[in-house]
Structure 1
Amino acid sequence: MPYHSTLPFALLLAPFALATVSGSLPPVERHVRHRDLAARHPSLNQPRASTSSIPLGGFQEVGNSGVSAQMMFLGTADTVYILDKAENNSLTVKTGDGITHPAWGTSYDLTTNIATPMSVSSNTFCAGGFSLANGSWAVFGGNQWVTYQGVAVGDTINNPTAANPFDDANGGEAIRMLTPCDDGNCAWQEGGASLTMTGKRWYPTIEGLGDGSVIVLGGDTNGGYVSTVVQNNPTYEYWPKQPAGAISMDFLEETVPVNLFPLTWLMPSGKLFMQAAYKTIMYDMDAKVETPLPDMPYAVRVYPASAATVMLPLTPANNYEPTLLFCGGSAAPFNQSSDGGSGFNVTAIQADDSCVRITPEGANPEYTDDDPLPEPRSMGQFIYLPDGTLWLGNGVGMGTAGYGDEHWSFGQSYGQDPVYSPAIYDPNAPSGSRFSRVGLSDSAQERMYHSTAILLADGAVLVSGSNPNKDVSFTKWPTSYSVEKWYPLWYSETRPEASSFPKSLSYGGSMWNLTYTPTNSSSNPGNSKVVIIRTGFSTHCVSPDFPIRIVHSGISLIPAVLKMNFGQRYLELATSYTQESDTGLVTLHISQMPPNANIFQPGPAMIFLVVDGIPSQGQMIVIGSGEIETQQLSTTTILPTSSVIVSPTSNSSNSSTADDGVTTGTANAVTAAKSVSRRFFTFRQPRFGAAMSTKIHDMAVSGFAEGTNDTYDKVRPSYPSETLKTIHTAITSASSSRSTTPLTILEPGSGTGIFSRLLLSPPTPDYPTFNISTLIGIEPSVGMRRAWDRGLARVPADRVEGRHVRVVEGAFDDFGRTEVGKASVDGVIIAQAWHWCPDHSSAF
């Protein structure tokens, strides 16, 4: 019996080929769970790496953002765009009407680390953003116009002169558009009916849709610590605009008071997963139907609890089925809160440390416990790294998002106990070991309310912001303009260099190739992958209208924040590989995007080659058509089987070539083996399986003229002896680890049996020997099948005596009559001229 515990070997020697087979808040008190963190996370107590010029695993301050980075996104590989609320920043900008005022927008050059002011007309305080299919970025909502200390222009009580020193416009209904560039000639566009929403939205959630448009959900009209029935905007709308306008949604009414920045992800089905307060639903936008899912356990994850949330990497291994992760937040009694304040000393309440997962469209969409956080954390942030792990940083251990003039607030901050230590989360690590701090070091800069982080093309994480204050302040906790880079532990390793990346990818369609040479001899091409990352719109945002005057206490309170990266997704493309053993050169065969635009919405993203956990430099790429439209979906091409090419070597002798391209002399055979021929050993199957060609030459079906097949068998040139010896050596090597158990071999395109006979009876005694128990030729021509039987002195009815040697009708894609499946054989050998099999890629 053939062995099934190892992958079958596979050989190809051209011009003959050997190929492979291969809810609203309940009135109950919820508590943070306390744990022995050192016991649960032993890796967290390991020594940390020392720093150098590039502090691997640590932070390095690289620049000044010009405005505090309340919002941030990567526009090009070299340019980051930063937005703040309208406040008294020292960096100024001159508008088109000649007025100079404090800036609240910059472009940040990653090559020079210089921030350049940009003119933004309306107040972006607490806006949401997303990238569109055409490469533009859109930012929705914000705050009304304000003056110093966030006081509203026109508030005659707190601003008697009604002055507007910032020259800002009302941003509550605003839509702002930017097409990124590297030459400094791009600008924010806003204003007019087409760039105005149906109503005010502060704290709106933005999610991309499968056609490259976006949906804008929820928000608040006047701001406050939490939402209220009066201020709640329980509707959603689309952009570009649709005739329906604002559409009401029960979920956004039922989750008051904690429903600002509702956590929302588009699912492969086209439905939305939504979570706010403790309530979870799936929402069908077409039918406008809400389907309840289990309640969120342990803590509130949305603003102002502000958990770290992320969709885990989408991979061929998980069939691109989304799993969502929620870590931290707060179990504070928000049902006691109002728009006027928390109603309790929130800074005295420890943040939550629980992590839960859910697979919304899986067979059992339930929240399940994951490894807890290394420490309690509110306002934490997950960032994808190209290797498939996630960086966790920023936030506080006590309190929540927000600020105000409370007697118990720290300065104005509603959070305290900054968490300076990052951690790495590995979603594929065994339970109990997913968080690690081995080799990592702390930041010297607190990153609290209004801080942001994004992945860069070099694989580092850019971190900036922190401003838990009404306006610019330099008292605890101060406004921060510092820009840091956090460097992964592999940052200084030699990076793989891909031959080229495409400029765009489609949804399904033909595969594409890239080549690279491994940087070390022990590299396994099976540990290579190509990943697509959308870094998202990072925001840690507040949404006040103006200081809310609590009459009896005289306290001014500014509402709070939620931290998230709108649109952040990670997708690994399906790949297989071919490697040349003599040069080490690897050719990756790569699928296009999965043929479902809901899995990864169209628009700009970055592409990385990752080899042995080390990524290349990322390159910007367009996913989809580049237009806001229904995306074309195509069938995914099946990839060839992964394989390693071994080029045999030999001295030469006389040679000649037959008219069918078969090289008969040893010299030409070896030359062909070096340049054209290939010998394959399978290490893994392609991620979507392999397929044999459905194209065969017409003559292969009919054979030669009646009565000439035997003549063909006699006069056709045989195989060069050195070539045969190479094949026998390869089979022996591939089968040596399987002990002496006889092999089962399939031979598609066996013809009249010339190679079959040579395989069974080596021409000289010095050939490596092996034992074949079963050899099944597969041949479409009845005349050739008869010649095969006669050549091996068999009759068609012989299926039992001696070794199981037979020929059956079939082609490259039809093994059905062999009575054995591909998974039950030790090897498939194709030993015929390539022109009988025109579709080489599919045959492989």
Structure 2
Amino acid sequence: MGHDHTLLRSSVRCPLPSMSIRLAVALLLMGVVAREGQTVLAQTGTWQVLVKNSGLSSMHTAVTHMNTVVFLERTNQGATSLLLPDGKCRNDPSDQYLKKDCYAHSSVMNLANNAIRPLMILTDTQCSAGQFMADGDLQQIGGNFNGIRGVRTFTPCPATGKCDWVETATKTQVDRWYSTTQLLPDQRVIVIGGRTVPSYEFIPAKGLKVQPLQFLKDTLTTDKNGQADNWYPYVHLLPDGTLFIFANTKSIKLNFVTNQVVKEYPILPGGPRNYPSGGSSVMLPLSFVDGFKSVEVLVCGGAAAGAFTIAEGRTKFLACQQTCGRMRVTDAAPKWSVETMPVKRCMGDMLLLPDQNVLIINGAEFGSQSEGRATTPVLTPVLYQTNTPSGRFVTMAASTIPRMYHSTANLLPDGRVMPAGSNSNRVHKYSKVPFPTELRLDAFSPPYLAASQNPKRPTITLSPGSVKLGLTFLVRFAVTDPKTVIGNVDVIINNSPFTTHSYSQGLRMLKLQTTAPKAVAGGLFEVTVTAPPNANVAPNAYYMCWVVNQKTPSKAAWIRLT
């Protein structure tokens, strides 16, 4: 398949020489033992290379309910290392690099065997947005050049199928480049912001025009180099049917039905967080315990003010931010609580894990997002223990693969996390640059997948294919050692987000109400679970469903909420 990168640490070229020394010392202190493609350190997770050459470097990644993973980079940047099948080619006279392009710029991976099948994307998806719809289709919106108003769909099929991208007749009403999407309770998608687009719109529009959003004008950082700090705004659907929107350092609550800002939140100190500053955000898991009414938002990392501009010459890089802000947005008088991460980080991806903790992974210590404007990769993921009152941060086992600009990370149905991509270059460059285009795919296994946890690990044996909101459903499971089922188990569901540019668009996780485990025939247990009450709490979509015993999750079963 062309370029085959080795796993040698010497391939990590870093302008700041202290990085390799710090990494070596950290690995020694952590007791890491390396084997072929794997780091052995159960208590802080393990790493394994899955694919040495995926053929392309994914800047957008999504996991489908068919247990496949969709990768997207962009057209209009020259050849990848993955040819389209059957002699297919894309003919585009406007392409700046290849008028006749016979290479794939999207692909799908079978999680059962890691096999990769090329897909054909026709328009430029650079820095676009996306969302899974209620029926499981992946809707992909905007981009650059000929894709800037495009709307594409991918209908997932079994790994042996031939499903591919479809360019739809639907278009956005204005250019959408660096925008954010969110699936709404009525199954529409709202598209918010983008480059020089302080507005939002709906797909399908149903006759509604583009709505201006003054908040995106007020949060725009402007300079001659185009540093914005409010592109790819963080958007979270709240259980009352409104939207929490964060951009730069500010946040609001938007009623998108009446087109009114109904609340302004305090400024988060520490500097800008959104593109190109490269922070990240998650809405912490919602819970049946309070009726899904209490909502906390976490925002971590970012760049120093002006980091994008200073890095223009690619020789001077300001330190990234080291703080997280956490706020209960449903309080009467919300306030940010600021916490300090173990390491400075921008371009880090934040994921919700089935044990309800947050994993912060990927990124850099200096610079900002954009091509060539960052250095010193952060190779150690950090676990943020959501419900621990103090000492929340735990440093995990180090990777050997830098993942900086245009990288992603997604939770897989087996509980692992799969980082992908990293391309700090305008086109693919595999040598003679500080950070070559990355084609490897690897997986991080959190500590809950350690062998020592096997006796506790549930295996789901029965779950519904779909369930209506508000109704109850039955889940059966086995446990390697039944004696470990002490008290209640948790049933956790999360949807699959569209991950790009350090933010997982649409991600939400919920802890559902369950009965106490009941032993049944065959050494099984069963629980009765109550589905979320309405689509404000959990929009209709496919969700991964986990049984978690003593903080150890099963593999996920897919359940469609209708």
Q: TM-score, normalized by length of structure 1?
A: 0.57
The reply on whether 1:59 has 2:47 as its aligned counterpart is: yes
Determine the structure 2 residue equivalent to 1:270: 241
Q: Is the 1:177–1:188 contact (alpha carbons within 8 Å) kept by the matching residues of 2?
A: yes
Determine the structure 1 residue equivalent to 2:397: 441
Following TM superposition, by how much is the alpha carbon of 1:92 offset from its aligned partner in structure 2, in angstroms?
A: 2.2
Q: Is the 2:137–2:153 contact (alpha carbons within 8 Å) kept by the matching residues of 1?
A: yes
Following TM superposition, by how much is the alpha carbon of 1:534 offset from its aligned partner in structure 2, in angstroms?
A: 1.4
TM alignment of 1:599-678, pairs within 5 A: 599-624=537-562
- CA distance change for structure 1 residues 427 and 44 in 2, over 3 Å: closer, same or farther? farther
- CA distance change for structure 1 residues 354 and 44 in 2, over 3 Å: closer, same or farther? farther
Q: Is the 2:495–2:542 contact (alpha carbons within 8 Å) kept by the matching residues of 1?
A: yes
The reply on whether 1:210 has 2:210 as its aligned counterpart is: no
Determine the structure 1 residue equivalent to 2:105: 104
Q: Is the 2:363–2:377 contact (alpha carbons within 8 Å) kept by the matching residues of 1?
A: yes
Q: Deviations over 1:574-612 (max 9, x none)?
A: 01214459987533121112x131122211221111112
Q: Is the 2:64–2:496 contact (alpha carbons within 8 Å) kept by the matching residues of 1?
A: no
What is the distance in 2 between the residues matched to 1:112 and 1:45? Answer: 33
- CA distance change for structure 1 residues 261 and 523 in 2, over 3 Å: closer, same or farther? same
Q: Is the 1:347–1:415 contact (alpha carbons within 8 Å) kept by the matching residues of 2?
A: no
Determine the structure 1 residue equivalent to 2:167: 190
Q: Is the 1:72–1:82 contact (alpha carbons within 8 Å) kept by the matching residues of 2?
A: yes
Q: Is the 1:77–1:619 contact (alpha carbons within 8 Å) kept by the matching residues of 2?
A: no
Determine the structure 2 residue equivalent to 1:289: 260
Q: TM-score, normalized by length of structure 2?
A: 0.84
What is the distance in 1 between the residues matched to 2:178 and 2:90? Answer: 30
- CA distance change for structure 1 residues 51 and 78 in 2, over 3 Å: closer, same or farther? farther
What is the distance in 1 between the residues matched to 2:509 and 2:316? Answer: 35
TM alignment of 1:44-443, pairs within 5 A: 47-48=30-31, 50=33, 55=40, 56=42, 57-63=45-51, 64-86=53-75, 87=77, 88-93=79-84, 94-95=87-88, 100-144=101-145, 170-182=146-158, 183-192=160-169, 195-220=170-195, 232-257=196-221, 258-290=229-261, 291-320=263-292, 321-333=294-306, 347-370=316-339, 372-403=340-371, 413-431=372-390, 433-437=391-395, 440-443=396-399
Following TM superposition, by how much is the alpha carbon of 1:120 offset from its aligned partner in structure 2, in angstroms?
A: 0.4
Q: Deviations over 1:196-218 (max 9, x none)?
A: 11121110111111122210011
Determine the structure 2 residue equivalent to 1:717: none
Following TM superposition, by how much is the alpha carbon of 1:83 offset from its aligned partner in structure 2, in angstroms?
A: 0.2
Q: Is the 1:465–1:480 contact (alpha carbons within 8 Å) kept by the matching residues of 2?
A: yes
Q: Deviations over 1:132-171 (max 9, x none)?
A: 1121111111111xxxxxxxxxxxxxxxxxxxxxxxxx00
Percentage of identical aligned residues? 30
Determine the structure 2 residue equivalent to 1:150: none
Residue identity opposite 1:218 in structure 2: G
Residue identity opposite 2:186 in structure 1: D
Secondary structure of the residue that 2:516 maps to in structure 1? strand
Following TM superposition, by how much is the alpha carbon of 1:247 offset from its aligned partner in structure 2, in angstroms?
A: 1.4
What is the distance in 1 between the residues matched to 2:161 and 2:523? Answer: 43
- CA distance change for structure 1 residues 263 and 581 in 2, over 3 Å: closer, same or farther? closer
Following TM superposition, by how much is the alpha carbon of 1:569 offset from its aligned partner in structure 2, in angstroms?
A: 1.3
Q: Is the 1:346–1:400 contact (alpha carbons within 8 Å) kept by the matching residues of 2?
A: no
- CA distance change for structure 1 residues 241 and 196 in 2, over 3 Å: closer, same or farther? same
What is the distance in 2 between the residues matched to 1:261 and 1:521? Answer: 46
Q: Deviations over 1:622-667 (max 9, x none)?
A: 122xxxxxxxxxxxxxxxxxxxxxxxxxxxxxxxxxxxxxxxxxxx
Q: Deviations over 1:548-586 (max 9, x none)?
A: xxxxxxxxxxxxxxx211111111110121445998753
What is the distance in 1 between the residues matched to 2:338 and 2:49? Answer: 36
Determine the structure 1 residue equivalent to 2:516: 577
Secondary structure of the residue that 1:533 maps to in structure 2? strand
- CA distance change for structure 1 residues 587 and 532 in 2, over 3 Å: closer, same or farther? same
What is the distance in 2 between the residues matched to 1:59 and 1:578? Answer: 33
- CA distance change for structure 1 residues 580 and 143 in 2, over 3 Å: closer, same or farther? closer
What is the distance in 2 between the residues matched to 1:274 and 1:109? Answer: 34
Q: Is the 2:182–2:506 contact (alpha carbons within 8 Å) kept by the matching residues of 1?
A: yes
Secondary structure of the residue that 1:363 maps to in structure 2? coil
What is the distance in 2 between the residues matched to 1:362 and 1:200? Answer: 36
Determine the structure 1 residue equivalent to 2:20: none
- CA distance change for structure 1 residues 308 and 186 in 2, over 3 Å: closer, same or farther? same
Determine which structure has the larger strand proportion and give its number: 2
What is the distance in 1 between the residues matched to 2:460 and 2:317? Answer: 52
What is the distance in 2 between the residues matched to 1:424 and 1:109? Answer: 27
Q: Is the 2:302–2:321 contact (alpha carbons within 8 Å) kept by the matching residues of 1?
A: yes
Q: Deviations over 1:279-305 (max 9, x none)?
A: 211111122111322112112111111
- CA distance change for structure 1 residues 204 and 48 in 2, over 3 Å: closer, same or farther? same
What is the distance in 1 between the residues matched to 2:331 and 2:469? Answer: 22
The reply on whether 1:504 has 2:466 as its aligned counterpart is: yes
Following TM superposition, by how much is the alpha carbon of 1:373 offset from its aligned partner in structure 2, in angstroms?
A: 0.8
Secondary structure of the residue that 1:253 maps to in structure 2? helix
Q: Is the 1:332–1:346 contact (alpha carbons within 8 Å) kept by the matching residues of 2?
A: no
Match of 1:589 among 494, 507, 528: 528
Q: Deviations over 1:380-427 (max 9, x none)?
A: 111222122222110000111012xxxxxxxxx100010001121110
What is the distance in 2 between the residues matched to 1:294 and 1:142? Answer: 32
- CA distance change for structure 1 residues 120 and 315 in 2, over 3 Å: closer, same or farther? same
Q: Is the 1:107–1:117 contact (alpha carbons within 8 Å) kept by the matching residues of 2?
A: yes
Secondary structure of the residue that 1:252 maps to in structure 2? helix
Determine the structure 1 residue equivalent to 2:225: none
- CA distance change for structure 1 residues 48 and 383 in 2, over 3 Å: closer, same or farther? farther
What is the distance in 1 between the residues matched to 2:540 and 2:47? Answer: 33
What is the distance in 2 between the residues matched to 1:599 and 1:362? Answer: 17
Moved more, 383-392 or 452-461: 383-392
Residue identity opposite 1:270 in structure 2: G
TM alignment of 1:437-586, pairs within 5 A: 437=395, 440-474=396-430, 475-491=433-449, 492=451, 493-494=454-455, 495-509=457-471, 511-520=472-481, 522-540=483-501, 563-580=502-519, 585-586=524-525
What is the distance in 1 between the residues matched to 2:350 and 2:27? Answer: 18
What is the distance in 2 between the residues matched to 1:368 and 1:44? Answer: 31
Q: Is the 2:512–2:529 contact (alpha carbons within 8 Å) kept by the matching residues of 1?
A: yes
Q: Structure 2: which 5+ runs fail to align?
A: 1-25, 92-99, 222-228
What is the distance in 2 between the residues matched to 1:268 and 1:580? Answer: 34
Secondary structure of the residue that 1:604 maps to in structure 2? strand
What is the distance in 2 between the residues matched to 1:343 and 1:185? Answer: 43
Secondary structure of the residue that 1:212 maps to in structure 2? coil
Following TM superposition, by how much is the alpha carbon of 1:44 offset from its aligned partner in structure 2, in angstroms?
A: 11
Following TM superposition, by how much is the alpha carbon of 1:521 offset from its aligned partner in structure 2, in angstroms?
A: 5.0
- CA distance change for structure 1 residues 66 and 345 in 2, over 3 Å: closer, same or farther? closer
What is the distance in 2 between the residues matched to 1:571 and 1:72? Answer: 22
Secondary structure of the residue that 2:144 maps to in structure 1? coil
Q: Is the 1:92–1:100 contact (alpha carbons within 8 Å) kept by the matching residues of 2?
A: no
Aligned residues: CA RMSD? 2.5
Following TM superposition, by how much is the alpha carbon of 1:342 offset from its aligned partner in structure 2, in angstroms?
A: 6.2
Q: Is the 1:504–1:623 contact (alpha carbons within 8 Å) kept by the matching residues of 2?
A: yes
